[in-house]
């Protein structure tokens, strides 16, 4: 093997090549596999031939990229990929993860751009690089260090392109390929080029004039009236086409190429995937290649249990009727995607008293009816891992999952919130020490009950209450919220996107004017050159690849040149447009017209909920342009309203309760503004003498204390010196002695016990409180201060959600919870229920848990999430 050889693989290109080259293969459960099978075949061969030391697979993130922003018709003529290949992208990622082969995708860019950037990094390091693709655009990247291995026919033939081979075929050096593409265009990518100019003419012109600039500088030398007219009329189109065809080579990629070294595959995981996909040839190959290694794992291998297939209505009915209320039933749903609202059920595995049964589904969705009685039975206890996922996906098929008695994912979370236990196989490995076979559904379902018992034994009585009385009922609430989703108006998003595009153009023009030149604003390298070389701004920070142009650097320079605020604004508008206004359109479910976020219940160490795909807790509100995104979130119909219920300063109220600080408690009981009171205390002025500036500084101190802020951090947030910031903190702790005592006591408690806890005894383990490394110890100290406060607030709002949901359900109201944004609940309410629901929500939230200080809730309502008006008491 060469000392260093970097292989870059165009994941999309090879998967599509394999998919169309092979017949539609599928496993016995109906999962299409031909693209993945062909990809692996090609991958194994090129790896054997090329012997890379480093390897990466690049994927397109989605169809929306910066090129489509530049030219809306870019790739517009491409049909949507067939349904048969959609699920194979996720399957391929699973295979790559098991192979321990890294893959990368980045929003706004294509796989080509990732490959272009990394191949340039390899060149600069003097490392040989081979690109495996079926896309001719990659030929522009060929150099002395970079070769392209091009798929030619089917999945078996490939052709190597080096500089000489490119020149033999195209008669120009590789870098000139983009000039040819600019003229002749590309119908597959819908790059327009110059109409009437084909490959031969384009090659002839570039051989003579070298580039577009050379061609248009000497346009008068063109012979042929028609060709001259076409070139003249389509000059702008030619330059646009070159911009579209040019692969980006200076993306901001955090990883070094050395991070993508070839690693040993997880053979157990890979074998189970091959078994699930029924790739017999690959299974046999693995077993023959490393029998010794496979044999070495027998000590902690979980044997695959015998599986009885339920493939008839009669056999399933007999199976269901034989289950009693004292039987232990574990359920594992196998689906083709991780998002329950977009996934299709492939099969259901059940373990009843240690025996495993399998109901194949695939396209035979009517078979789910055979299990309806079992799933909807409240008296038959069921155990699952991530029962919320099962509830949502079954509800899509019209089945209400009832009788969930245990959820091993939530148990693992209560046991140790720092452990990511979403993957059942990882959880089994951690707690039952089983490795081999861990990915097979039959093995997984067979171990759920054992895992449940193991985890329950580890919990204290308080933790068991937290699991049974908070996390389990909350899972039901979140399942209903996920299934319901929020109605999203596409036309409004399109209008907002157009507004943002207009704002970007204004910013872009001003940036170019101030810079004195056109450049790629999104390129850190080009931006760095403009700011620090051309404009001569102060260099704040340098990285391995050049000047740092991150947000912190630009914020520090914001007063040093007029261009900086425009660049910051440009970045904000770009993010708003791509991440929200544009991306949300693609997340609207075609059947419901709503966007269905996944609420991650077992992810944060403090107990807070998070929201993904999309993250609806992170819709921007600081800029008016960002707030307008909320205008697209609308109610069910005109006779419905949105209701928002927001806790007032719940973290500070939690701090008052936990610290038992009498001054802080008095402040909240008397209804004094806590930030004004703090300002009066630390700045030694009367309450009536506190102005907005002093209140703003006091607010930073109040929240800083919760998060364990240092004098340095407070100095940065308030703009005062570190000495003055230190004085603020000292004055605060003198004014609130109960808080000072709490800060000392909680850290000591953490050191003695190894964890800190919330009001509901949710633990966070912090072994680094006793670390010798001062940096680790300092970080753990901040977590010790913050977790009980923020975690207790999270506990309270979870209790509130359960109470609101149960009260609405018990009264048979149509109102429904839609979203939780940390301290805020969002509901959708019919107008004729509004007064009743408003009272339910306010009472439930303000009485969710009894603190030493009152809990207060403010209410807003409106026709959409943007036009919300405060409801006066």
Q: What is the per-residue pLDDT for 1?
A: 39
Q: What is the per-residue pLDDT for 392?
A: 98
Q: What is the per-residue pLDDT for 298?
A: 39
Scanning the structure block, which residue is given the tokens 């321990």? Answer: 100
Q: 164-196: per-residue pLDDT in tens?
A: 888 888 888 888 888 888 888 887 777 888 887
Q: Residue 295 pLDDT more than 50?
A: no
Rounded distance between C-alpha atoms, residue 593 and residue 584, angstroms: 12
Q: What is the mean pLDDT of residues 853-864?
A: 97
Taken in order 224, 229, 232, 234, the sign of the CA dihedral is: negative
736 secondary structure, DSSP code: -
- Runs of H (alpha helix) within 576-721: 624-627, 650-659, 662-669, 674-683, 692-706, 711-718
Q: Residue 293 pLDDT more than 70?
A: no
Q: What is the per-residue pLDDT for 873?
A: 67
Band (799; pLDDT cuts 50, 70, 90):
very high
Share in percent of the chain as helix, strand, coil (round to 5): 55, 15, 30
Burial of 539 (0-12, 13-18, 19+ CB in 10 A): middle
Of the ranges 382-386, 388-392, 575-579, which one carries the lowest mean pLDDT score?
A: 575-579
**Residue scoring higher pLDDT (705 or 146):** 146
Please, what is the average pLDDT of the chain? Answer: 88
Q: Residue 302 pLDDT more than 70?
A: no
Q: What is the mean pLDDT of residues 72-77?
A: 74
Q: 612-648: per-residue pLDDT in tens?
A: 989 999 888 878 888 999 999 999 999 999 999 999 9
Q: What is the per-residue pLDDT for 544?
A: 63
Rounded distance between C-alpha atoms, residue 331 and residue 350, angstroms: 5
Most confident of 332-346, 416-430, 846-860: 846-860
Share of the chain above pLDDT 70, in %: 95
Most confident of 109-113, 347-351, 715-719: 347-351
Cα–Cα distances (Å) from 320 to 317, 356, 393, 756, in that order, read: 5, 13, 21, 45
Q: Residue 296 pLDDT more than 60?
A: no
Q: What is the mean pLDDT of residues 827-856?
A: 97
520 secondary structure, DSSP code: -
Share of the chain above pLDDT 90, in %: 54
Q: What is the per-residue pLDDT for 299?
A: 38
Of the ranges 192-201, 355-364, 647-656, 786-795, which one carries the lowest mean pLDDT score?
A: 192-201
- Residue 30 CB contacts under 8 Å (≥ 6 apart), including other chains: 346, 360, 361, 362, 363, 364
Q: 138-154: per-residue pLDDT in tens?
A: 998 998 889 999 887 76
Band (238; pLDDT cuts 50, 70, 90):
confident
Of the ranges 517-526, 558-567, 737-746, 765-774, which one carries the lowest mean pLDDT score?
A: 765-774
Distance of CA 705 to the CA centre of its chain: 30
Q: What is the mean pLDDT of residues 85-94?
A: 86
Q: What is the mean pLDDT of residues 695-700?
A: 88
Half-sphere exposure in the Cβ direction for 94 (13 Å, CA): 22
Q: What is the per-residue pLDDT for 726?
A: 86
**Residue scoring higher pLDDT (236 or 599):** 599
Report the greatest alpha carbon distance in the chain.
Answer: 92
Q: Residue 436 pLDDT more than 60?
A: no
Q: Buried b vs exposed e over 99-109: b needs ≥16 C-beta within 10 Å?
A: bebbbbbbebb
Cα–Cα distances (Å) from 89 to 104, 183, 337, 704, in that order, read: 13, 34, 10, 44
* Number of Cβ within a 10 Å radius of residue 309: 12
Strand partners, 178: none
Q: Residue 437 pLDDT more than 60?
A: no
Q: Residue 438 pLDDT more than 50?
A: no
Taken in order 666, 671, 673, 676, the sign of the CA dihedral is: negative
Q: What is the mean pLDDT of residues 44-59?
A: 90
């Amino acid at each position: 093997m060469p000392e260093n050889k970097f292989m870059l693989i165009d994941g999309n290109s090879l998967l599509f090549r394999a998919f169309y080259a092979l017949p539609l293969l599928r496993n016995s459960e109906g999962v299409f596999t031909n693209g993945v099978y062909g990809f692996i075949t090609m991958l194994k061969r090129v790896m054997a031939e090329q012997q890379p030391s480093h390897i990466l697979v690049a994927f397109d993130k989605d169809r929306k990229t910066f090129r489509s922003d530049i030219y809306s018709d870019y790739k517009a003529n491409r049909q949507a990929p067939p349904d048969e290949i959609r699920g194979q992208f996720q399957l391929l990622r699973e295979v790559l993860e098991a192979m321990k082969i890294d893959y990368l995708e980045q929003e706004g860019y294509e796989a080509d751009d990732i490959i272009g950037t990394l191949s340039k990094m390899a060149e600069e390091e003097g490392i040989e690089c081979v690109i495996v693709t079926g896309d001719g655009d990659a030929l522009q990247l060929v150099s002395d260090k970079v070769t392209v291995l091009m798929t030619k026919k089917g999945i078996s033939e490939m052709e190597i392109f080096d500089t000489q081979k490119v020149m033999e075929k195209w008669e120009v050096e590789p870098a000139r390929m983009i000039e040819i593409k600019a003229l002749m265009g590309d119908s597959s990518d819908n790059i327009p080029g110059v109409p009437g100019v084909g490959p031969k003419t384009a090659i002839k012109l570039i051989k003579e004039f070298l580039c577009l600039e050379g061609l248009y500088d000497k346009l008068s030398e063109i012979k042929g009236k028609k060709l001259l007219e076409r070139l003249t009329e389509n000059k702008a189109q030619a330059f646009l086409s070159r911009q579209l065809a040019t692969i980006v080579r200076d993306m901001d990629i955090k990883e070094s190429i050395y991070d993508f070294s070839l690693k040993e595959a997880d053979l157990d995981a890979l074998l189970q995937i091959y078994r699930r996909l029924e790739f017999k040839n690959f299974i046999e190959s693995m077993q023959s290649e490393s029998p010794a290694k496979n044999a070495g794992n027998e000590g902690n291998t979980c044997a695959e249990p015998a599986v009885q297939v339920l493939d008839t209505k009669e056999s399933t009915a007999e199976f269901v009727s034989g289950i009693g209320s004292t039987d232990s039933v574990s359920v594992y749903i196998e689906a083709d995607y991780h998002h329950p609202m977009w996934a299709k059920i492939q099969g259901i595995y059940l373990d009843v008293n240690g025996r495993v049964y399998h109901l194949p589904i695939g396209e035979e969705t009517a078979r789910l009816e055979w299990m309806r009685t079992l799933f909807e039975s409240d008296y038959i206890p069921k155990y699952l891992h991530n029962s919320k996922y099962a509830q949502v996906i079954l509800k899509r098929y019209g089945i209400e999952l009832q009788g969930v008695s245990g959820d091993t994912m939530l148990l693992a979370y209560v046991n140790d919130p720092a452990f990511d236990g979403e993957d059942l196989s990882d959880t089994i490995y951690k707690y039952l020490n089983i490795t081999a076979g861990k990915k097979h559904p039959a093995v997984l379902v067979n171990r759920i009950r054992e895992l449940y018992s193991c985890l329950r034994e580890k919990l204290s009585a308080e933790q068991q209450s937290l699991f049974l009385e908070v996390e389990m009922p909350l899972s039901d609430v979140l399942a209903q919220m996920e299934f319901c989703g929020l109605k999203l108006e596409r036309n409004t998003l399109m209008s907002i996107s157009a507004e943002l595009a207009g704002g970007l153009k204004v910013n872009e023009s001003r940036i170019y004017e101030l810079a004195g030149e056109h450049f790629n604003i999104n390129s850190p390298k080009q931006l760095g050159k403009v700011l620090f070389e051309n404009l001569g701004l102060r260099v704040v920070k340098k990285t391995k690849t050049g000047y740092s142009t991150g947000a912190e650097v630009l914020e520090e320079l914001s007063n040093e040149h007029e261009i900086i605020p425009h660049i910051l604004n440009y970045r904000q508008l770009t993010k708003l447009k791509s991440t929200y206004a544009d991306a949300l359109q693609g997340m609207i479910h075609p059947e419901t017209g709503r966007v269905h976020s996944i609420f991650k219940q077992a992810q944060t160490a403090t107990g807070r909920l998070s929201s993904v795909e999309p993250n609806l807790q992170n819709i921007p509100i600081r800029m008016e342009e960002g707030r307008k995104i909320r205008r697209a979130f609308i109610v069910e119909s005109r006779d419905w309203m949105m209701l928002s219920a927001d806790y007032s300063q719940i973290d500070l109220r939690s701090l008052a309760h936990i610290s038992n600080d009498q001054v802080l408690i008095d402040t909240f009981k008397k209804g004094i503004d806590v930030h004004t009171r703090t300002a009066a205390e630390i700045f030694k002025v009367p309450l009536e003498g506190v102005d907005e500036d002093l209140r703003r500084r006091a607010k930073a101190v109040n929240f800083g204390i919760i998060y364990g802020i240092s004098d340095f951090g407070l100095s940065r947030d308030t703009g005062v010196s570190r000495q003055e910031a230190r004085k603020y903190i000292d004055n605060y702790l003198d004014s609130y002695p109960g808080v000072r005592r709490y800060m000392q006591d909680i850290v000591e408690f953490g050191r003695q016990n190894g964890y800190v806890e919330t009001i509901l005894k949710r633990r966070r383990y912090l072994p680094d409180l006793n670390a010798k490394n001062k940096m680790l110890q300092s970080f753990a100290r901040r977590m010790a201060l913050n977790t009980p406060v923020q975690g207790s607030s999270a506990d309270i709002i979870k209790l509130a959600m359960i109470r609101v949901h149960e009260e609405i359900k018990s009264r048979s109201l149509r109102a429904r919870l839609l979203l939780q944004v940390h301290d805020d609940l969002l509901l959708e309410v019919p107008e004729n229920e509004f007064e009743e629901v408003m009272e339910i929500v306010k009472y439930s939230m303000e009485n969710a848990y009894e603190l030493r200080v009152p809990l207060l809730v403010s209410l807003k309502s409106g026709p959409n999430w943007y036009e919300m008006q405060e409801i006066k008491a």
